[in-house]
Chains A and B, each alone.
Chain A
Amino acid sequence: MTIPTLTSKDAHFDYVLRLGDDALILAQRLGEWCGHAPALETDLSLANIALDLIGQATMFLGYAGELEGKGNDADKLAFHRDVNQFRNCLLVEQPNGDFGRTIARQYIFSTWQYLLYQQLARSTDPRLAEIAAKALKETTYHAELAAEWVVRLGDGTAESHERVKDGFEWCWRFVDELFSVQPLDPSIVTSGVAVDTATLRAAFDSALATTFAEATLPLPKFPRPVLGGRKGHHSEHLGHLLSDMQFLPRAYPDAVW
Chain B
Amino acid sequence: MYTTEMSKNPARPAAPSEAPELVAAFEARVANDEFIEPKDWMPEAYRKTLVRQISQHAHSEVVGMLPEGNWISRAPSLRRKAVLLAKVQDEGGHGLYLYSAAETLGTSRDQMIEALHTGKAKYSTIFNYPTLTWADIGAIGWLVDGAAIMNQVPLQRTSYGPYARAMVRVCKEESFHQRQGFEITMKLAAGTPEQKAMAQDALNRWWWPSIMMFGPPDDNSPNTAQSVRWRIKRETNDELRQKFVDVTVPQAEAIGLTVPDPDLKWNEERGHYDYGAIDWDEFWAVVKGEGPVAKERVKARIDAWEKGAWVREAALAHAAKQASRRQKEAANG
Taking beta carbons and an 8 Å cutoff, which residues of A are in contact with B?
24, 27-28, 31-32, 34-44, 47-48, 50-51, 54-55, 57-58, 61, 74-75, 78-79, 98-100, 151-153, 155-157, 159-160, 163, 244-245, 247-249, 252, 254-257
Contacts and interface: CB of A to CB of B under 8 A. Distances in A.
A48 B303 CA distance: 22
A163 B310 contact: yes
A136 B188 CA distance: 37
Nearest to B190: A256
B92 A257 contact: no
5 contacts: A44-B89, A98-B307, A100-B311, A152-B315, A156-B318
A75 B78 contact: yes
| Size bin of chain B's contact surface | 35 or more
A99 B305 CA distance: 12
B92 A57 contact: no
A25 to B, nearest CB: 12
B136 to A, nearest CB: 13
Contact of B74 (A152, A245, A254, A255): A245
Given A47-B88, A54-B85, A155-B321, A31 B74 contact: no
Given A47-B88, A156-B315, A257 B310 contact: no
Task: Kindly list the 8 A-B residue pairs having the minimum CB-CB distance in the complex, ordered from nearest.
Answer: A38-B308, A156-B314, A160-B314, A38-B311, A47-B89, A35-B65, A248-B76, A35-B69
A183 B145 CA distance: 47
A40 B85 contact: no
B81 A31 contact: yes
Given A38-B307, A42-B308, A256-B187, 8 more contacts: A35-B66, A35-B304, A36-B303, A152-B314, A153-B311, A245-B73, A252-B195, A257-B191
Interface string B61-83: 01001100100111111111110
A40 B99 contact: yes
B73 A159 contact: no
Nearest to A161: B314
Contacts of B312: 38-39
A156 B77 contact: no
Given A34-B69, A44-B96, A55 B317 contact: no
B187 A54 contact: no
B54 to A, nearest CB: 15
Interface in B169-205: 184, 187-188, 191-192, 194-195
Contacts of A38: 304, 307-309, 311-312
A256 B134 CA distance: 13
B314 A159 contact: yes
B184 to A, nearest CB: 8
Interface string B224-253: 000000000000000000000000000000
A35 B314 contact: no
A27 B315 CA distance: 25
Nearest to B69: A35
B93 interface: yes
A32 B184 CA distance: 22
A54 B313 contact: no
B14 interface: no
Contact of A157 (B88, B89, B96, B314): B314
Contacts of A163: 310
Contacts of A159: 310, 313-314
Given A35-B69, A44-B96, A152 B77 contact: no
A41 B96 contact: yes
Contacts of B85: 31, 34, 47, 50-51, 54
A61 B195 CA distance: 27
